[in-house]
C-alpha cells in the first residue's frame, strides 16, 4: 500500500509540474498594430531651428508577454507615402528623390531580434531596421504604457519608444551638402497602439 501511495504521489507531482511548466512558458499575446492610432513621429533640424512631422500609416504585429517582457517581439511596417508635416507642398517635396525617394522606396520595416527587459514595463528593443534600401541593426528603449478595454469590445495595449537615426547611414545625402538646410540627425518617437487578436486555433 505504501508503494502504491508513493506512486500516486509521484504521479500527482509530475502532473503538477507539467501544469506549472505550461503556465511558465505560456505564449505571448498577439496584437495587431492599429494604424489609426499609431504614429512614427520625427524631428529634424531645419536651418537654425527644427521641423517635425509624422508617418501615420504604421502596421504590423506585436507579440507581447506581460509577465516576461523578454519573450516579446515586434514586426512593423511604415508607409513612407504617409508622411505628414502639416504642409501638403512640403510633403510632396520631401517624397521626391532629393529626400525620401518614396516612389522607389515606399516602405520602412523593423523586425525585432531581441528584447532586453528592465522590468515588466520597460526594456530595450533590438532589431533590423530597413529604410531607403539599407538595413541596419538598431537598439532603442521602449515602455509599455498600459493595457485596457476599448469601447468596441476589444482589448488594447500602448507602447512608446524613442531612438535617434542618422540619415546618412541610410544613403540619404541631403545633410552632407555644404550649407545644407536640413540636418542629418533624426529624432524618432514611436507611439504604437495594439489591438489584441483572438488566440489561433490549435493545429489538428
pLDDT at position 22 is 40
pLDDT at position 25 is 55
pLDDT at position 16 is 44
Rg value, the chain, Cα:
23
Taking phi over 0 as left and psi of -120 to 50 as alpha, with beta for the rest, 133 belongs to: left
pLDDT at position 27 is 81
pLDDT at position 172 is 96
72 by Cβ neighbours in 10 Å (0-12 / 13-18 / 19+) ranks as buried
Say how far residue 57 (Cα) sits from the centre of its chain. 13
- Low-confidence stretches of the chain (pLDDT < 70) are 1-26, 202, 204
Indicate the pTM of the whole model: 0.84
pLDDT at position 109 is 98
DSSP 8-state class, residue 179: T
pLDDT at position 200 is 73
| CA trace torsion 177, 181, 185, 186 (10° rounding) | -130
pLDDT at position 26 is 64
Strand 49-55 versus strand 58-64 pairing type: unpaired
Q: And the C-alpha cell for 89?
A: 507642398
Write the DSSP string, 53-109. Answer: EEE--EEEEEEE-SS-GGG-EEEEEEEGGGEE-S-HHHHHHHTSTTTT-TTT--EEE
Q: What is the CATH class of 28-196?
A: mainly beta
| Percent of the chain topping pLDDT 70 | 85
pLDDT at position 58 is 98
Rounded CA gap, 80 and 21, in Å?
Answer: 44
Amino acid at each position: 500500500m505504501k508503494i502504491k501511495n508513493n506512486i500516486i504521489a509521484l504521479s500527482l507531482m509530475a502532473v503538477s509540474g507539467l501544469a506549472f511548466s505550461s503556465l511558465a512558458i505560456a505564449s505571448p499575446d498577439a496584437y495587431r498594430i492599429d494604424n489609426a492610432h499609431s504614429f512614427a513621429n520625427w524631428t529634424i533640424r531645419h536651418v537654425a531651428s527644427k521641423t517635425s512631422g509624422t508617418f501615420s500609416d504604421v502596421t504590423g504585429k506585436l507579440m507581447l508577454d506581460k509577465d516576461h517582457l523578454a519573450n516579446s517581439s515586434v514586426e512593423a511596417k511604415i508607409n513612407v507615402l504617409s508622411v505628414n508635416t502639416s504642409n501638403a507642398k512640403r510633403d510632396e517635396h520631401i517624397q521626391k528623390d532629393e529626400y525620401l525617394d518614396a516612389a522607389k522606396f515606399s516602405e520602412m520595416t523593423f523586425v525585432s531580434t531581441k528584447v532586453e527587459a528592465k522590468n515588466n514595463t520597460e526594456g530595450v528593443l533590438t532589431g533590423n531596421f530597413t529604410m531607403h534600401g539599407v538595413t541596419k541593426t538598431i537598439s532603442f528603449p521602449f515602455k509599455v504604457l498600459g493595457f485596457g478595454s476599448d469601447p468596441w469590445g476589444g482589448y488594447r495595449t500602448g507602447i512608446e519608444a524613442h531612438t535617434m537615426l542618422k540619415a546618412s547611414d541610410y544613403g540619404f545625402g541631403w545633410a552632407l551638402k555644404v550649407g545644407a538646410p536640413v540636418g542629418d540627425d533624426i529624432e524618432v518617437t514611436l507611439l504604437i497602439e495594439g489591438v489584441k487578436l483572438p488566440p489561433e486555433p490549435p493545429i489538428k
